[in-house]
C-alpha cells in the first residue's frame, strides 16, 4: 500500500503560530488614520479589538505561542490530514506528485475556525462578553458562532440580507451554535436604518453589514468586533495549516516545488504558504507560490497597489493593498468567499516583492476542475477551493507536457456541502464567465482616497 493520508497525533498540534514579518526583507507599509494620514497606534484600534490581537497585528516576533485552551479546541479537528492525491494523479496521467491539505474537516467545513477560536480566546481573556461580526455567505459567521460556543462568548452576526434569505442552512448552523443572526440592513443600527430608508428592499452588502457590526461593537463596552480575513493577526492564526504541513511533508520525505491556494482576503493561502515562504526568504527552500483568484474579482492581477479603505462605507483605517477600489461590486459569482475588493496587506506586500504569483481563473473552468477532483478523490470542494484545484491541475498537466516531476501542494480550504446549489446551477448551464474590462477597473479605481505618503 502507498501512503495516501499523513495524519499527525493530537500532541503534534503546533505550539506556535509563524509570523512572517520576522523574515521579510522590509516591513509592509503602516496602516494610516484616514483623517490625519498618520500611522494608527494601538489606542486607535482598542475600541474594536482586544489588545492581545492588536499587539499580534504589529508583532515582529517569528514565533507566537498558541495558548493551551486554543490548542485544546483545535484538538476537535486538528491536526488536519495531508492527502496525496494519487487517484487524481492517475486520472491526469501526470508525473507530478500532488498533495492537498484538507481544511474541510473542521466542524464548520473550512479553515475559518483556526482564527475564530483564537480570536474568541483572546477576547475572553480581556473580559469581552460578546463578539459582533458580519457574514456574507455564512462561512465566517458560522465559524465565529462555533468559536463563541466553545469559549463561552455570545456572538451576534449581521448577515447580508440576500444570503440570509437564500442560505437558510448556514443561518441554522449559526443558531445551532447559539448565535443571534440578523439580516442586514437591519433596523437595529443607524447604518442599517439609513440603508433601509434609501431602499426598503435592499438586498444588503458586505459593506453595510460591516458598518452595522462595527456600530454595534462600538456602542457596547462588553462587545468587540471580529474579522475573518485580511488582517495580519488573522493570517498569523492560519499558519497552523502550513506548520503542520511542513511536518507532514517531511514525514513522507517531500518538499514542495509549487504551493497553491485560492485567495479572497488571503487568509487560507497565507496559512498554508507563509511558513514555506519564510523558508524561502531564509534561503532554505526553492519554491513558487501561486494565489488563485476569480477573474470576476481580480484583486491581485488587475487591482493597483494603493492605500484604500477596508469597507464600502469607508469607516476603517487606510491600508496599503492590492485593491479594485472600495466601491467595487463584483458580479454575483458563486464563490462568495472570494468576493472582496482588496487583498491582505501582507499578501500584497509579497506580491510587490516578487515572491507571490497570482492567477485569475474563470468560474466555469473552476467548477469543471472541482467535478474532476470529486470524481477522483471523492471530496467535493467548496466553490472557493475549486480555484486552487484548477491551478493545481493545470500545473500537473504542465509537468506531463514537460515530462518533469514536481511536487505540487495546495490548500483544500473547505468542502462544498453547503454550496450544492452552485454545483446544481453549473450542471444546469446557468453559470457564466465574467471578466472585468480595463475600463471597468479604471472606473472603480477612480474613487481611491488621495493619500500623500510620508
Ligand atoms: C472564506 C473562504 C475562502 C476565502 O477567504 P481567504 O481569507 O482568502 O482564505 C476560501 N475558501 C473557503 C472555503 C472559505 O470559506
Which tens digits make up the pLDDT trace of 87-123? 999 999 999 999 999 999 999 999 999 999 999 999 9
Ligand 1 centre to CA of 344 (Å) is 12
Ligand 1 centre to CA of 97 (Å) is 24
Q: From the alpha carbon of 382, which atom of ligand 1 is closest? A: 13
Most confident of 207-216, 264-273, 307-316: 264-273
Question: pLDDT per residue over 33-57, tens digit each?
Answer: 988 989 999 999 999 999 999 999 9
Q: Confirm or reject: Cβ of 262 under 6 Å from ligand 1.
A: yes
Q: From the alpha carbon of 228, which atom of ligand 1 is closest? A: 7
Instruction: For each of the domains in the chain, give its residue range(s) and CATH number, in order of start.
Output: 5-12+66-109+233-444 (3.40.50.1100)
Q: Confirm or reject: Cβ of 414 under 6 Å from ligand 1.
A: yes
Minimal-distance CA residue to ligand 1 atom 10: 384
pLDDT band at 336 (very low <50, low <70, confident <90, very high): low
φ/ψ region of 403 (left if φ > 0, alpha if ψ in -120 to 50, else beta) reads left
Ligand 1 centre to CA of 95 (Å) is 29
In this structure, what C-alpha cell is assigned to residue 262? 485560492
Question: pLDDT per residue over 130-173, tens digit each?
Answer: 999 999 889 999 999 999 999 999 999 999 998 898 889 999 99
DSSP lists the bridge partners of residue 319 as 308
Is pLDDT at 341 greater than 90 in this prediction? no
Q: How far apart are CA 144 and CA 113, in angstroms?
A: 7
pLDDT band at 311 (very low <50, low <70, confident <90, very high): confident
Minimal-distance CA residue to ligand 1 atom 1: 337
Is pLDDT at 206 greater than 70 in this prediction? yes
pLDDT band at 348 (very low <50, low <70, confident <90, very high): very high
In three state form, how does the secondary structure of the chain look? CCCCEECCCHHHCCCEEECHHHHCCCCCCCCECCCCCCECCHHHHCCCCCHHHHHHHHCCCCEEECCHHHHHHHCCCCCCCEEECHHHHHHHCCCCEEEEEEHHHCCCCECCHHHHHHHHHHHHHCCCCEEEEEECCCHHHHHHHHHHHHHCCEEEEEEEHHHHHHCHHHHHHHHHCCCEEEEECCCCCHHHHHHHHHCCCCCCCHHHHHHHHHHHHHCCCCEEECCCCCCHHHHHHHCHHHHHHHHHHHHCCCCCCEEEEECCCCHHHHHHHHHHHHHHHCCCCCCEEEEEEECCCCHHHHCEEEEEECCCCCCCCEEEEEECCCCCCCCCCCCHHHCCCECCHHHHHHHHCCCEEEEEECHHHHHHHHHHHHHHHCCCECCCHHHHHHHHHHHHHHHHHHCCCCEEEEEECEECCCCHHHHHHHHCCCCCCCCCCHHHHHHHHCCCCCCCCC
- pLDDT for res 445: 87
Q: Confirm or reject: Cβ of 382 under 6 Å from ligand 1.
A: yes
Ligand 1 centre to CA of 140 (Å) is 9
Is pLDDT at 332 greater than 70 in this prediction? no
pLDDT band at 327 (very low <50, low <70, confident <90, very high): confident
**What is the rounded average pLDDT of the residues 329-339?**
68
Q: From the alpha carbon of 238, which atom of ligand 1 is closest? A: 9
Greater confidence, 333 or 240? Answer: 240
Q: From the alpha carbon of 103, which atom of ligand 1 is closest? A: 13
- pLDDT for res 377: 98
Q: How far apart are CA 363 and CA 137, in angstroms?
A: 17
Q: Confirm or reject: Cβ of 271 under 6 Å from ligand 1.
A: no
Mutation pick for ligand 1 pocket among 260, 292, 414, 419 (CB with most ligand atoms within 8 Å): 414
Minimal-distance CA residue to ligand 1 atom 13: 414
Is pLDDT at 313 greater than 80 in this prediction? no
Is pLDDT at 238 greater than 70 in this prediction? yes
Ligand 1 centre to CA of 400 (Å) is 30
Cβ proximity of 187 and 202 under 8 Å: no
**What is the rounded average pLDDT of the residues 247-271?**
98
Greater confidence, 6 or 440? Answer: 6
**pLDDT more than 90, % of the chain:** 83
The half-sphere exposure of 116 on its side-chain side, counting CA atoms within 13 A, is 29
Q: Confirm or reject: Cβ of 245 under 6 Å from ligand 1.
A: no
pLDDT, averaged across the chain: 94
Mutation pick for ligand 1 pocket among 80, 108, 112, 422 (CB with most ligand atoms within 8 Å): 112
Ligand 1 centre to CA of 261 (Å) is 10
Amino acid at each position: 500500500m502507498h501512503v495516501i493520508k499523513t495524519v499527525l497525533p493530537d500532541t503534534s498540534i503546533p505550539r506556535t503560530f509563524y509570523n512572517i514579518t520576522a523574515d521579510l526583507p522590509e516591513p509592509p507599509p503602516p496602516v494610516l488614520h484616514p483623517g490625519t494620514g498618520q500611522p494608527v497606534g494601538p489606542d486607535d484600534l482598542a475600541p474594536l479589538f482586544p489588545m492581545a490581537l492588536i499587539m499580534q497585528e504589529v508583532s515582529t516576533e517569528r514565533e507566537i505561542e498558541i495558548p493551551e485552551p486554543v490548542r485544546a479546541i483545535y484538538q476537535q479537528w486538528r491536526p488536519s490530514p495531508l492527502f496525496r492525491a494519487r487517484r487524481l494523479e492517475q486520472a491526469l496521467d501526470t508525473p507530478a506528485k500532488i498533495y492537498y491539505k484538507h481544511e474541510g474537516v473542521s466542524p464548520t467545513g473550512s479553515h475559518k475556525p483556526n482564527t475564530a477560536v483564537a480570536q474568541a480566546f483572546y477576547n475572553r481573556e480581556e473580559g469581552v462578553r460578546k463578539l459582533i461580526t458580519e457574514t456574507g455567505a455564512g462561512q465566517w459567521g458560522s465559524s465565529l458562532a462555533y468559536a463563541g460556543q466553545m469559549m463561552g462568548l455570545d456572538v451576534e452576526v449581521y448577515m447580508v440580507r440576500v444570503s440570509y434569505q437564500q442560505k437558510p442552512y448556514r443561518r441554522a448552523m449559526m443558531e445551532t451554535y447559539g448565535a443571534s443572526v440578523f439580516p442586514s440592513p437591519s433596523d437595529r443600527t443607524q447604518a442599517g436604518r439609513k440603508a433601509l430608508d434609501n431602499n426598503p428592499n435592499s438586498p444588503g452588502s458586505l459593506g453595510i453589514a460591516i458598518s452595522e457590526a462595527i456600530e454595534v461593537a462600538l456602542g457596547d463596552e462588553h462587545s468587540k468586533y471580529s474579522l475573518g480575513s485580511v488582517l495580519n493577526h488573522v493570517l498569523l492564526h492560519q499558519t497552523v495549516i502550513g506548520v503542520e504541513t511542513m511536518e507532514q511533508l517531511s514525514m513522507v520525505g517531500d518538499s514542495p516545488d509549487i504551493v497553491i491556494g485560492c485567495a479572497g482576503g488571503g487568509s487560507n493561502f497565507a496559512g498554508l504558504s507563509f511558513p514555506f515562504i519564510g523558508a524561502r526568504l531564509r534561503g532554505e527552500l526553492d519554491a513558487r507560490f501561486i494565489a488563485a483568484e476569480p477573474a470576476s474579482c481580480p484583486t491581485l492581477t488587475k487591482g493597483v497597489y494603493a492605500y484604500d479603505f477596508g469597507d464600502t462605507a469607508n469607516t476603517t483605517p487606510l491600508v496599503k493593498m492590492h485593491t479594485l477600489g472600495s466601491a467595487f461590486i463584483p458580479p454575483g459569482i458563486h464563490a462568495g468567499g472570494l468576493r472582496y475588493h482588496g487583498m491582505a496587506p501582507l499578501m500584497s506586500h509579497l506580491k510587490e516583492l516578487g515572491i507571490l504569483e497570482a492567477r485569475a481563473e474563470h468560474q466555469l473552468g473552476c467548477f469543471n476542475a472541482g467535478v474532476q477532483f470529486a470524481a477522483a478523490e471523492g471530496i467535493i470542494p467548496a466553490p472557493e477551493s475549486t480555484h486552487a484545484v484548477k491551478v493545481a491541475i493545470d500545473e500537473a498537466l504542465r509537468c506531463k507536457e514537460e515530462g518533469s516531476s514536481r511536487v505540487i501542494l495546495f490548500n483544500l480550504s473547505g468542502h462544498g456541502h453547503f454550496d450544492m446549489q452552485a454545483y446544481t446551477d453549473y450542471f444546469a448551464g446557468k453559470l457564466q464567465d465574467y471578466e472585468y474590462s480595463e475600463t471597468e477597473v479604471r472606473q472603480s479605481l477612480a474613487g481611491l482616497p488621495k493619500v500623500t505618503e510620508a
